[in-house]
Every structure is written in C-alpha cells, then in structure tokens.
Amino acid sequence: MKILIIGAGPGGYETAAEALRRGIEVTLVNDGPLGGTCLNEGCIPTKTFCASPSLQEAMLRKEEVLPQLRKGIEFLLKKAEIVQGRAKFLDSHTVEVNGKEYTADKIIIAAGSGSASLTVPGAELALSSREMLELKEVPKRLCIVGGGVIGLEFASIFRKFGSDVTVLEYCPGILPRFDTDIAKRLKASLARTGIAIETSAQLTSITRDGALKLNYIKKDQQCSVEADVALMAVGRKPALEGLGLDEAGIEYGKRGIKVDENMCTNVPGVYAAGDVTGGLMLAHYASAQGLKALNHICGVKDDIRLDICPAAVFTEPELATVGLSEEDCAGRGISYRVHKSQYRANGKALASGESEGYCKIISEEGSGRILGAHILGAHASDLIHEVAALMNFNASVAQAAAVIHAHPSLSEVLQAAYRS
C-alpha cells in the first residue's frame, strides 16, 4: 500500500512516521520546513520564549532547539519519499507538485492553517505571530489584537521581557471558548502582572504617525492606544487555497474540509486531518486525527476519543482545560456538579512559592461521571492529563477520589477537588 500525505506538521509527519513503522510506503509533500507551524513558528518557539528571562536568551534557545527537533523528524522519516513543494489535486487520486504527478492508494490532507487577520484599515501594520518570534528588540509598548490563546501567551512573554502590554479583545471576556469562571481568574492574574486588557473592544483601524495607533470602539465610545509594535492574534484559518479541492470533488466550507468520525472526506480514499478540518486547531489534536485516519486505512479499531482533548495556555500562571465547561453543560441541558480546590491549600504549592491557583472539576449529577476539568496555576498543563485519562475511561469523581496521590505534590490539588 502507498499513502500520500500533504503537509509535514504534527498531523502529517507523525502519521507518516507511524505508517512507515507499519511497513507502508509513504510520500510526504510539504511546502515548508519539517514540523509545520507547531515546530517552526508556533508551539515550540513560543515555549522557548516562555522558558527564557530575556529576548536574547529566547532567540538563542530557539536557534538551538528547533534544528534539533527537525533532525529528529528527519530521522523518523528517513524511509519516506519527501517532496518539497505545494501540492494540488488534479483529480481525486492525482496530486501535482512542481509539475510532476503523484498517485497513491490513499491520500491524507494535513496542510495546516495560516494566521487570520481582521479586515480593517491598516491591518497590514500589525505583525503575525511568526514575525513576533523574529523581533530583535523588546518593544517598549506592545498592543495585541485578540485575547485568545496566542495573544495571551505573547502578552505574558513580552510583559516578562519588559514591554508595556495592552490586549484588545472583541468578546466580553478573554478566551471566549474556555470556562468563563477560569478565564476571569486568569484575566485578574494577568492584570496583576501589569497587562492591560480591554474586552468588548472592536478594532476599527490601525494608523502610523511615528508610533502605531490602534483605534477601537468600546461601549459606543471611540478609544485608541499607542504602541511601538502591534500583534494580530485573532485566530487561524485552514490552509485550503491552492489545494485543488474543487478539482478533486472534495467537500469543504468556510471552517474547513468536511470529514466523518474516521477523518474520511466525501471522496473515497481521501482523508483530512488537523487544522484543515476546522476543528480544534491544536497540534496534538491533529496528531490524533492523523492516527485515526491511518487506523481506518489499515482496518485497525482504536479507542481514540476526539471529544476528549486537553488544551493548555502557557501564560503565567498556566491554564489548562479538558471536556465540558459549566456553560457547555447548561447549554446542553446537562445537570452537573462543580468540585473546587485552591492551590493555596496545597503543601507543595505553598512550599514552592506557587500558591496562586484554582481547580474545578465538573461531574454529571447522579452518576458522578467526570465531564470536564479546568485548572489555573503552576503546571496546569501537566496536571490536566490525569483528568483526561480518567475521562477516557468514564471515571466518576468518587473513583478518582479513591486514587492515592503522592504527598506533597501539586496533583493533590486534583484530589482535593474530587473530594470536595
């Protein structure tokens, strides 16, 4: 069997590596460096910035880490045929790259996404997240358009580096898709570090007269903020342009390529995974979707739960979430209970000077089945996976509370919530 994969981000290269391990012939088409957005201009470089006290150290760390990870991917894919270039469908099973045609038994589209931008005058004056990672100097004043994951991570990073940071968010609160309670707590934490956050702020234009001026409307009032650098962080959009989806007869919409639960498109033998499907635009979600597609191709049954996918925001403090929020439960008519705990009551948190934090577990009324978890505090991105694992096995809060946790450890924050 031969599989052709379009895209070398996590949804593409990890699927390719697993296919090679299963003895499948793989052709991987990619129009950028291996690793895609995540490795080269997203998850990994921003985490090198998070782990550095200065911009100079961050740049050095980035230049050390990224090549090392790319070499690791090259090793995983050493048996694959790697084609550099932009892929375009000529028909449902033929792809053209640099004027050469390629065919395969199965095709997986994992072309990723690109930065979105608001269509307001002067939007081109704002930098993308990729360009932010190339800055040579710390801006004295930074204005970030968008209070989502990307915007808030950069806000935390550059505030630590010494920038005066203002965030403009269109919605009434930051992190619109997250649990409202936990998002409000994060907003308060960020405000204490000196980050100014303006919610319900609609950007109308960006102008330059020496400094940048970002004009916005808030409560019917015309407002503005001056900045030396502006970041446009209003989300991402599936990279569908130029793929030739119409020529292949592949159904898609504004949100992305339409797929079923096994990542099959409407065209037999053609699959899609990752950001191009318009779902959760997370690297690990793309990897899971890619594996889901490969398993279907190979006729392998799996227990991958795409409805249970943890997410983390690497601000200071961290925020992590999995499953349903209170708003989700209310919207679906689900009766639920909330179980809470505080970091300040945890011995390890107090001893290590990390007492700012909060945890809430949401369970189904009656059965006690865990429906979701939301954590704000140190190592939230690690702690959330305990709950994700339990949810994959439909565990109840009573069952979770019976699990022994090491003392002293931050994981006892979860245990305290289960038992509340």
- Residues 252 and 401 placed together within one structural domain of the fold: no
- Residues 31 and 104 placed together within one structural domain of the fold: yes
pLDDT at 40: 94
pTM, to two decimals = 0.95
pLDDT at 364: 98
Residue 98 counted as domain residue: yes
Residue 305 counted as domain residue: no
Per-residue pLDDT, averaged over 190-219, amounts to 97
pLDDT at 104: 95
Kindly state the tokens that stand for 234. Answer: 């209003």
Per-residue pLDDT, averaged over 17-39, amounts to 96
Residue 170 counted as domain residue: yes
405: pLDDT confidence band, cut at 50, 70 and 90?
very high
pLDDT one-digit tens code per residue, 114-133: 999 999 999 999 999 999 99
Q: Count other Cβ atoms within 10 Å, centred on residue 353.
A: 8
Q: Is 248 helix (H, G, I), strand (E, B) or coil?
A: helix
Per-residue pLDDT, averaged over 35-44, amounts to 94
- Residues 387 and 405 placed together within one structural domain of the fold: yes
Residue 308 counted as domain residue: no
Mean of the per-residue pLDDT values of the chain: 97
Per-residue pLDDT, averaged over 369-395, amounts to 98
Domain hosting residue 217, numbered range: 123-232
Per-residue pLDDT, averaged over 77-103, amounts to 96
pLDDT one-digit tens code per residue, 141-179: 999 999 999 999 999 999 999 999 999 999 999 999 899
Between CA 260 and CA 246 the distance in angstroms is 19
60: pLDDT confidence band, cut at 50, 70 and 90?
very high
CATH of the domain at 172: 3.50.50.60
**Single residue among 212, 232, 252 that ends a domain in this structure:** 232
- Residues 21 and 108 placed together within one structural domain of the fold: yes
Per-residue pLDDT, averaged over 63-90, amounts to 96
- Residues 207 and 271 placed together within one structural domain of the fold: no
Catalytic residues: 407
pLDDT at 183: 97
CA distances from 34 to 4, 71, 74, 328, 332 (A): 16, 9, 8, 37, 41
The share of the chain scoring above pLDDT 70, in percent, equals 100
Residue 345 counted as domain residue: yes
CATH of the domain at 382: 3.30.390.30
Kindly state the tokens that stand for 367. Answer: 């059965």
pLDDT at 110: 98
- Residues 329 and 412 placed together within one structural domain of the fold: yes
pLDDT one-digit tens code per residue, 299-334: 999 999 999 999 999 999 999 999 999 999 999 999
Per-residue pLDDT, averaged over 237-265, amounts to 96
